[in-house]
Amino acid sequence: MINLVRNEMLKLLRKKRLYVIILIIAFLVPLFTYAQFKEIQEQREKMGNQDWRTVLQQEITDTQNRLSSSRIQDEWRKYLKIRLSQQQYYLENDIDPRAPGAPTFMRIFVENSIDLLLPLLVMVIVADLVSSEASGGTIKLLLTRPVKRWRILLSKYIAMLMSVSFIVLSVAVLSYVISGLVFGYGGWNMPLLTGFAVSGDELLTDRVHIVPQWQYILMEFGLVWYVSVIVGTLTFMLSVLLRSTAAVMGIMLASLIAGAILVNMVSSWESAKYFFMVNLNLTNYVSGMATPIEGMSLGFSMAVLAVWGLAGFIIAFVTFSKRDIY
């Protein structure tokens, strides 16, 4: 098995896909760093040399003002209310959630890339893992070896897991190293709040507790990894089912983007919460953001993703071991 996995890793490396991914990240991170830097600068300019508490208080007031306007939508109102109580919580406990620093950037970057950017990167790697063997014809040589088919597929799956871990690690390292040039490398021990739960439009704070930022980041990266593995598994399944890598990418891309759109529209279509693509934003549960649909929670989303992932895994293995190869 180790030999098989080694083979798959070799092919992955030789196809240069991993390098492309690293390049993409290395290109995007400075972009976002700059954007973040600009934002902080603008805030500083607007607020003068004010204390962050004042700024946060101002935000709270702004939020309250927006809330009092009668024209805002119900969902938006709900979101604002949650945001509001959270901001007040930070203020009361003297925690600056936006202190600049590379770890903070990492956290913000990963929270924003969990539902689209990272799944896309994963998809680029995984989409042709099996389909390229089929379209390139090499599958004929691969499957006429004295190795059972499921073992071959399993080696590919393990290679997929490894490359997903590698991508997530690249995101972590690159975002830390590059943004640190601007924001500095400190801030690992900053306390952050987590454990918010939403029930109706109330923010439940009975489980809220403080964790140091490094733990918070590690937790978020764990979730990002989980989401990436699920997206990877589904892409993997499509890669088994379809010969054409372009078709695999097309379907994955469409569903991911549809997910990003749906999240903003589905609050009244309740059963949409069973789609995998509206459940990708796991980090929102940790940071206590509003859920797109009533009744979603970290446990729920993880379970939905697990079911999709498991189904994809089973479909992939069953079809691959049974299928005729023309």
Report 32-61 residues binding other proteins (CB under 8 A): 48, 50-51, 53-54, 56-58, 60-61
Window contacting other proteins (CB under 8 A); options: 123-131, 180-188, 214-222, 237-245: 214-222
Site string for other proteins, 236-275 (x = CB under 8 A): ----------------------------------------
Residues numbered 293 to 312 that lie near other proteins (CB under 8 A) are 298-299
Burial class (CB in 10 A: 0-12, 13-18, 19+), 308: buried
Cβ of residue 11: shortest distance to other proteins, in angstroms?
7
Smaller CB separation from other proteins, 200 or 299: 299
Window contacting other proteins (CB under 8 A); options: 27-35, 113-121, 139-147, 252-260: 139-147
Which residue among 73, 141, 200, 271 contacts other proteins (CB under 8 A)? 141
Smaller CB separation from other proteins, 156 or 255: 156
Instruction: List own/partner pairs for 150-156 with CB under 8 A and 24 or more apart.
Output: 150/317, 150/320, 150/321, 151/1, 151/4, 152/4, 153/240, 153/316, 153/317, 153/320, 153/321, 154/1, 154/4, 154/317, 155/1, 155/4, 155/5, 155/7, 155/8, 156/8, 156/129, 156/130, 156/236
Window contacting other proteins (CB under 8 A); options: 110-118, 120-128, 223-231, 252-260: 223-231
Which residue among 3, 45, 71, 271 contacts other proteins (CB under 8 A)? 3
Cβ of residue 102: shortest distance to other proteins, in angstroms?
18
- Indicate whether 72 belongs to the interface with other proteins (CB under 8 A): no
Which residue among 219, 247, 266, 289 contacts other proteins (CB under 8 A)? 219
- Indicate whether 207 belongs to the interface with other proteins (CB under 8 A): yes
- Indicate whether 13 belongs to the interface with other proteins (CB under 8 A): yes
Cβ of residue 66: shortest distance to other proteins, in angstroms?
9
- Indicate whether 109 belongs to the interface with other proteins (CB under 8 A): no
Smaller CB separation from other proteins, 79 or 90: 90
- Indicate whether 68 belongs to the interface with other proteins (CB under 8 A): yes
- Indicate whether 146 belongs to the interface with other proteins (CB under 8 A): yes
Smaller CB separation from other proteins, 16 or 38: 16
Cβ of residue 195: shortest distance to other proteins, in angstroms?
7
Q: Given the DSSP bridges, would you call strands 197-199 and 191-194 parallel, antiparallel or unpaired?
A: unpaired
